[in-house]
Amino acid sequence: MIDIRALRDDPERVRASQRARGEDETLVDAVLEADARHRSALSEFESLRAAQKSFGKQVAKATGEDKQALLAQAKQDSARVKELDQRSAEAAAEREGGLRRIGNVIIDGVPAGGEDDYVVLEEQGAPRDFAAEGFEPRDHLELGTLLGGIDMSRGAKVAGARFYFLRGTLARLELALMRMALDRALAAGFEQLSVPTLVTPETMEAAGFLDAHADEVYRLAADELYLTGTSEVALAGFHAGEILDLSQGPRRYTALSTCYRREAGSHGKDTKGIIRVHQFQKVEMFAYVRPEDAEAEHERMLDLERGMLDSMELPYRVIDTAAGDLGGPAARKFDCEAWVPTQGRHRELTSTSNCTTFQARRLNTRERDPHGSGTRMVATLNGTMATTRWLVALLENHQQADGSVRVPEALQPYAGLQTLEPVTR
């Protein structure tokens, strides 16, 4: 959540952020009003408590009627202290509840608006002209079927709609992609972790995944645990409640995990193939950095994502995501979207978010303040290195007229294949 001190100091900045997100800016005033009530009640409580201590000495020395009068006054003061304590606690709870409903304050320059209001920052590569090559491109599901590599019907039989089996060379290609992504992250200084994919409600909420998107998360009610839709959740919770030493630089972690998403509200969208599914593989990056270094770290993650896409020889673009499409924890998000020929449009393959101190404040992850005494919150960032969805872009962009698919040169050593060939079964 955002810092209450920043809200007090510059409420208009938070209001402007809420407007840009298309969210309720009156929350700002509600939080400030609850904060004022809390502080007023707390101040009176502390003053009365201090007076009670000296008053106790007078009672001890008094005798007779004077003592009885003082005792009656002490009883009234005690009731008042209890009332003020309760009022302060209630106002604080109201303030905290309001703060949790306010999204992270966006960074200057983030486009206002919703999903379609992004700004294209750059485009790399040019889409293939399949007409000039003399054939109509097949979509990824048709190609996957020809290759004997995507089996949606058996996935549905075993687990229901939007589940699938990857088989043979396509299963190998997915694993090769994940291994390459991990190697790139490790070479860039990230430490690999194997993470839980079930987490507590406290961890899920603190990472920011039970706010506006709780209906997209799988919940195991009997165990009071949640299945994670990204290893970002576990990586965010890794240092919860700790004081980190960032004097030697950021703490960087990467993880390959199976991810689960209910895709609530997406009925009728991308029902064909493996673009929008309930389970997939993903290699995630996560970094804990000093707040003043967060924007530079964000660019570094974006460069790593660009490098992966360049190595996959995919035409893509980078967009600056609009405020209303950021999600609560992110102050800025860059997406890399690859061209999908049969859809005639770009589709998201990677996303990297600068969450500033929003997650760390909920998780109480701090560092020794290098500019003064005490501690301060760290900044957290996350980014995607690869997901199963990449297979969609790889298949469609590197297909050949005979239904075979060329494996990008950089991926060939990991896959042990140069070409995926159609099979007959």
Q: Report how far residue 350's alpha carbon sits from residue 336's, in angstroms, rounded to the nearest whole number.
A: 5
* Predicted local confidence at residue 53, as pLDDT: 64
d(CA 119, CA 17): 17
Q: How far is CA 263 from CA 40, 127, 259, 311, 405, in A?
A: 45, 29, 12, 30, 29
* DSSP state for residue 105 in the 8-state scheme: P
- The amino acid present at 226, given as its one-letter code, is Y
Token pair belonging to 73: 């006054």
pLDDT score recorded for residue 306? 98
Query: Rg of the Cα trace of the chain?
Result: 27
Confidence (pLDDT) at 66: 65
Return the pLDDT at 173. 98
Classify the C-alpha dihedral 100-101-107-110 as positive or negative: positive
Q: What is the pLDDT of residue 1?
A: 84
Report the residue count for the chain.
Answer: 425
Residue 58's pLDDT band, with cuts at 50, 70 and 90, is low
CA atoms within 13 A on the CB side of 24: 12
User: According to the model, what pLDDT value does residue 57 have?
Assistant: 56
Instruction: Give the pLDDT of residue 274.
Output: 96
pLDDT at residue 269 in the model: 73
CB 378 within 8 A of CB 294: no
Highest mean pLDDT among 1-10, 308-317, 369-378: 308-317
Burial label for 124, CB within 10 Å (0-12, 13-18, 19+), is middle
Question: Given a cut of 90, is residue 211 above it in pLDDT?
Answer: no
pLDDT band at 425 (very low <50, low <70, confident <90, very high): low
Which one, of 99, 123, 155, lies nearest residue 310 by Cα? 123
**Catalytic residue annotation:** 261, 276, 348, 351, 389
For residue range 59-88, what is the model confidence (pLDDT) as tens digits? 555 566 666 666 666 677 677 778 888 889
- pLDDT of 373 reads 83
Read off the tokens for 303: 């460069």
**80 phi and psi, to 5 degrees?**
-65, -40
| pLDDT, tens digit, 9 for 90 and up, residues 160-190 | 999 999 999 999 999 999 999 999 999 999 9
> What was the pLDDT predicted at 49?
74
Strands 405-406 and 316-320: unpaired
Q: What is the mean pLDDT of residues 106-120?
A: 96
Over residues 89-111, the pLDDT tens digits come to 999 999 999 999 999 999 999 99
Mean pLDDT of the chain: 93
The top-scoring range by mean pLDDT among 82-96, 237-251, 360-374 is 237-251
Question: With a threshold of 0.85, does the pTM exceed it?
Answer: yes
pLDDT tens for residues 250-292?
A: 999 999 999 999 987 666 677 789 999 999 999 999 999 999 9
pLDDT(151) > 90: yes
- The model's confidence at residue 133, banded by pLDDT at 50, 70 and 90, is very high
Using the predicted structure, report yes or no on whether residue 356 has a pLDDT greater than 70: yes
Specify the pLDDT at position 372.
83
Structural domains in the chain, CATH included, are: 4-101 (1.10.287.40), 119-420 (3.30.930.10)
Contacts of 303 (CB under 8 A, 6+ apart): none
* CA pair distance 379, 251, nearest whole angstrom: 11
